Amino acid sequence: MEEKISIKTLLPSEMEALLLSLGEPKYRAKQVFHWLHQGITDFSDMSDLPKALRQKLDDACFITRPRILRKQVSQRDGTVKYLFGLADGNSIETVVMRYEHGNSVCVSTQAGCKMGCVFCASFDPKKSRNLTSAEILDEVMFAQSDSGLHISNIVLMGTGEPLDNYDNVMRFLQLVSHPEGMNIGMRHISLSTCGLVPMIGRLMEEKLQLTLSVSLHAPNDALRSQLMPVNRRYPLDELIPACKTYFEQTGRRISFEYAMIGGVNDTPECARQLIRLLRGFPCHVNLIPLNHVEGSPLIPSTRDNLRNFQNELLKNGLNATVRRSLGGDIAASCGQLRRQYDQEVAQ
Ligand code: SAH
């Protein structure tokens, strides 16, 4: 038997082709697309389609639907964190964050990450796999429907390296921004990468209006290679020029993420090196107080170090902000809830 199609991965033109192949008129595609993007998980609920068509679709396709394995709600700021179970038994984390300007969802793009940044809880090369576009879309759809919080912004900053799952992520972006789907525009989407240089070049060619964030975390190669193994493959003298070209070609300012780690990358010398590295480049530096990961020797910078570092950047003309930390009372930084769950289940 042929494998069933994951129908939520289909773009409208592909949905039309599917319906034609089933001997149905093209216009049905719009109805099906609409139902799927409303969050329907059963073909029998597509009430304006003939029964015979619903059956044909059911025979040829399946609809993904994550299970909620865990849900945590922050008492402090209303952040909601989900651990979703996938059809193959793997699991992923999704977080809904509430801001004055609207609600944001932070989605994972891979189950377990292969990149191995030392400060991050998501590293899990054994259980790593790419998420399909439907699975990423489900994170947005089901986080919205379960939490009851209308989602207006998306950040691809959960577990996984989005540019390491390039095709599925591009497809997800097309699906989620589609006017007949969730209709979340590219200007409301941020994509974060650890710095896969060739893929930044490829993304540039797409000329998308999204915001590209680049995880920098260190101002020199020695330190960056220690913190982020990816730097050994794509060092700063390749990464920074790629970022500059990206900005020149797209007109979209890049946001550099810099997790502040006490005594490691938060010294006055590091600030000076960072200023030298980025001087004259129109960009944004987002300082993130390190989220402490259980068992890790790395600790967050003190409040004073954070402020001094930021002030030094500001004094030298770099646009630097400190990211507000949400969900501190729940395991809100990526990877932590999945880890906890896996440990409990293993016991
Ligand atoms: N793979 C992508 C996106 C996922 S992580 C990337 O590397 O950019 C989203 C951001 O959170 C990245 O900047 C990542 O470096 C950062 N991050 C991971 N663990 C963290 C921690 N414990 N504290 C603060 N930031 C962390």
176-194: average pLDDT: 98
Distance CA 161, CA 30 (A): 32
What's the 291 CA to ligand 1 centre distance in angstroms?
Answer: 9
Decide: 223 and 181 in contact? Cβ < 8 Å.
Answer: no
Decide: 188 and 197 in contact? Cβ < 8 Å.
Answer: no
Check if 286 has its Cβ closer than 6 Å to any atom of ligand 1. Answer: no
What's the 192 CA to ligand 1 centre distance in angstroms?
Answer: 8
Distance CA 83, CA 71 (A): 6
Same domain, 304 and 168: yes
Distance CA 269, CA 308 (A): 12
Distance CA 19, CA 26 (A): 6
Same domain, 162 and 297: yes
Same domain, 18 and 83: no
H or E, element range at 14:
helix 12-21
For residue 208, what are the domain limits? Answer: 67-346
pTM of the model: 0.96
Across the chain, mean pLDDT equals 95
Is 236 a residue whose pLDDT tops 70? yes
Same domain, 22 and 144: no
Active site residue 248: no
Annotated catalytic residue within 16, 24, 93, 135: 93
Question: From the CB of residue 20, how many other CB atoms can be counted at a distance below 10 Å?
Answer: 13
306-313: average pLDDT: 98
DSSP 61-80: EE----EEEEEEE-TTT--E
Question: From the CB of residue 321, how many other CB atoms can be counted at a distance below 10 Å?
Answer: 14
Same domain, 37 and 183: no
At 143-170, the pLDDT tens digits run: 999 999 999 999 999 999 999 999 999 9
Same domain, 96 and 191: yes
Q: What is the DSSP letter of 282?
A: -
Q: For residue 38, what is the domain's CATH number?
A: 1.10.150.530
At 87-121, the pLDDT tens digits run: 999 999 999 999 988 999 999 999 999 999 999 99
Same domain, 335 and 215: yes
Atom number of ligand 1 nearest to Cα 194: 7
Check if 293 has its Cβ closer than 6 Å to any atom of ligand 1. Answer: yes
Split at pLDDT 50, 70, 90, the class of 194 is very high
- Strands 61-62 vs 102-106: parallel, antiparallel or unpaired: unpaired
Active site residue 93: yes
Same domain, 26 and 99: no
The number of folded domains in the chain is 2
Same domain, 56 and 159: no
Same domain, 188 and 282: yes
Split at pLDDT 50, 70, 90, the class of 2 is confident
The separation between CA 6 and the C-alpha centre of its own chain, rounded to angstroms, equals 21
Q: For residue 79, what is the domain's CATH number?
A: 3.20.20.70
Same domain, 34 and 137: no
Is 336 a residue whose pLDDT tops 90? no
DSSP 101-113: TEEEEE--SEESB
Check if 288 has its Cβ closer than 6 Å to any atom of ligand 1. Answer: yes
Question: Angle of helix 268-278 relative to helix 303-315, nearest 10 degrees?
Answer: 30
Check if 186 has its Cβ closer than 6 Å to any atom of ligand 1. Answer: no
User: Alpha carbon of 293 to those of 255, 315, 340: distances in Å?
Assistant: 24, 32, 11
Check if 29 has its Cβ closer than 6 Å to any atom of ligand 1. Answer: no
Identify which of 156, 122, 176, 47 has the alpha carbon closest to the alpha carbon of residue 334: 122
Distance CA 323, CA 310 (A): 11
Per cent of the chain over pLDDT 70 is: 98
Same domain, 239 and 299: yes
Please report how many Cα atoms fall inside a 13 Å half-sphere around the Cα of residue 188, on the Cβ side: 16
What's the 215 CA to ligand 1 centre distance in angstroms?
Answer: 7
- Strands 5-6 vs 61-62: parallel, antiparallel or unpaired: parallel
Of 104, 154, 157, 265, the one to substitute when testing ligand 1's pocket (max ligand atoms within 8 A of C-beta) is 157
Check if 139 has its Cβ closer than 6 Å to any atom of ligand 1. Answer: no
